[in-house]
Amino acid sequence: MVADVPVGALLSGGVDSTAVTAVMSDLSDAPVNTFTVGFSGAFARNELDSARAMAARLGTRHHEVVISAAGFAEFLPMSIWHMEEPISTSSTLPYYKLCELARQHVKVC
């Protein structure tokens, strides 16, 4: 957290990211910027509610990006181009969008 640029945390609401954010919040004089990616529609894995609850509890300045099924499909060819090869994990697109959001507010997460 010692940096000459703004820092933040990626917050899923799980144990690891919540613990990191809690320590950052304890050490910081200002609210920590937190970032979460979520999905609209009937996606089975959505961490928005957990992340929102932890952000509220820790008093962070919380930011979210929500991806729709259409947005996921639209960005898929571009994400493969950025990776330069197909990757078998589905988390690369949400992670890209999450980092794209974070970059608008901080330089380091």
Calpha distance 109→10 (Å, rounded): 6
Q: Which residues contact 35 (CB under 8 A, 6 or more apart)?
A: 8, 9, 10, 11, 62, 63, 64, 65, 98, 101, 102, 105, 109
Stretch 58-63: mean pLDDT: 98
pLDDT tens-digit map of 2-23: 899 999 999 999 999 999 999 9
Q: What is the C-alpha end-to-end distance of the chain, expressed in Å?
A: 9
For the chain, what is the mean pLDDT?
90
Range with lowest mean pLDDT among 26-30, 62-66, 71-75, 90-94: 90-94
Which two three-digit tokens encode residue 47? 């961490």
- Residue 100: per-residue pLDDT: 93
- The confidence band for 44, taking pLDDT boundaries of 50, 70 and 90, is low
